[in-house]
């Protein structure tokens, strides 16, 4: 069954109105008709609405709410990926796959070894594209929320955002205790917020690692192989997804 995101203000007591670009997709691409059913959600909470199409016109699609429920499709912890800005379009792949794995938000970070520089209109255009990729991935993977990609920020500002999180992880090539990694990841509990700090190509500088540790981040190893920047964060997210999937917040 097809799923679409709608604005919260378009949800009524008994009906939901679909507006914007989804109207054309429903009417002309999918050729849906009155009486057919679809799933709707706001992208901001865990409530899913099963609806039946009442009418379609070029500006809006009116639907009747059949039922609404919290499906438990989201992970019980908020996982935030702090991704050192990589070269080329690698961040687009990271965003897509991180959303599929259950990330709550993605923070692009300008680190000392980040080669790509963004400013002004270029940064705005990139941010819009990154969030469009996140929304598309959320639809494809049947997420109930749309993970937000935040504006690119400096490393020190990213640490300000990281510090209040319950669990702070920093995969680091000089860490070596795999058993500790298993222990740390296994100790994450439903309801906790988790920040994952990943460096760009070339990794983080030692001073950056120490700054993160000063804010409570724990260096962990991901094994004896060196993972690319676009792989490391996804490896941690996948491990946390398996550890947390299906658990309820305490």
Grouped pLDDT means (10 residues each) for the chain, 250 residues: 91 94 93 95 88 95 92 88 94 97 96 83 91 93 92 95 97 87 93 96 93 95 91 96 82
Question: Domain boundary at 43, 70, 97, which?
Answer: 70
**DSSP β-ladder status, 60-70 and 47-56:** antiparallel
> Both 125 and 216 in a single domain?
yes
| Sheet strands (E) in 93-203 | 105-110, 148-149, 153-154, 167-171, 193-198
> Both 90 and 64 in a single domain?
no
**In whole angstroms, what separates CA 75 from the centre of its chain?**
11
> Both 118 and 183 in a single domain?
yes
> Both 59 and 181 in a single domain?
no
CATH number of 161's domain: 3.40.1280.10
- Averaged pLDDT of the chain: 92
Q: Is residue 186 part of a domain?
A: yes
CATH number of 57's domain: 2.40.240.20
pLDDT of the residue at 104: 96
Residue 193 forms beta bridges with which residues? 78
Q: What are phi and psi of 162, to 5 degrees?
A: -75, -40
Q: What are phi and psi of 21, to 5 degrees?
A: -65, -20
Please give the Cα distance from 106 to 80 (Å, whole number). 6
Q: Is residue 250 part of a domain?
A: no
pLDDT of the residue at 224: 87
> Both 96 and 167 in a single domain?
yes
Residue 213 CB partners (closer than 8 Å, separation 6+): 170, 219
Residue 47 CB partners (closer than 8 Å, separation 6+): 41, 68, 69, 70, 144
Q: Is residue 249 part of a domain?
A: no
> Both 112 and 176 in a single domain?
yes
Question: Domain boundary at 15, 48, 70, which?
Answer: 70
pLDDT of the residue at 250: 60
How many structural domains are present in the chain? 2
> Both 47 and 156 in a single domain?
no
Owner of token pair 């920040």: 195
> Both 117 and 186 in a single domain?
yes
> Both 223 and 141 in a single domain?
yes
SS3 of 207, please?
Answer: helix
Quote the domain boundaries for residue 194. 78-244
pLDDT of the residue at 31: 95
Q: Is residue 33 part of a domain?
A: yes
Question: Domain boundary at 44, 70, 96, which?
Answer: 70
> Both 206 and 170 in a single domain?
yes
Determine contact, residues 94/233, Cβ cutoff 8 Å.
Answer: yes
Question: What does 124-141 look like in DSSP terms, one character per residue?
Answer: HHHHHHHHHHHHHHHHHT
Owner of token pair 């309801």: 191
> Both 100 and 63 in a single domain?
no
Determine contact, residues 153/77, Cβ cutoff 8 Å.
Answer: no
């Amino acid at each position: 069954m097809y799923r679409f995101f709608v604005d919260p203000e378009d949800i009524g007591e008994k009906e939901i109105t679909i507006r914007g670009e989804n109207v054309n997709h429903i009417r002309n691409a999918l050729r849906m008709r009155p009486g057919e059913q679809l799933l709707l959600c706001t992208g901001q909470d865990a409530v899913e609405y099963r609806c039946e199409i009442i009418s379609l016109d070029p500006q809006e699609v009116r639907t009747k709410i059949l039922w609404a429920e919290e499906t438990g499709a989201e992970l019980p912890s908020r996982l935030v990926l702090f991704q050192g800005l990589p070269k080329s379009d690698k961040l687009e792949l990271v965003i897509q796959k991180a959303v599929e794995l259950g990330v709550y938000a993605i923070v692009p970070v300008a680190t000392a070894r980040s080669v790509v520089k963004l400013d002004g209109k270029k940064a705005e255009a990139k941010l819009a594209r990154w969030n469009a990729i996140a929304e598309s991935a959320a639809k494809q993977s049947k997420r109930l929320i749309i993970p937000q990609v935040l504006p690119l920020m400096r490393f020190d500002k990213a640490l300000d955002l990281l510090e209040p999180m319950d669990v702070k992880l920093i995969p680091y090539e000089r860490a070596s205790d795999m058993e500790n990694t298993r222990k740390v990841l296994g100790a994450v509990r439903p309801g906790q917020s988790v920040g994952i700090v990943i460096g760009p190509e070339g990794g983080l500088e030692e001073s950056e690692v120490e700054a993160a540790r000063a804010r409570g981040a724990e260096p962990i190893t991901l094994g004896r192989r060196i993972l690319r920047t676009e792989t490391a964060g996804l490896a941690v997210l996948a491990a946390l997804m398996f550890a947390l999937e299906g658990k309820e917040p305490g």
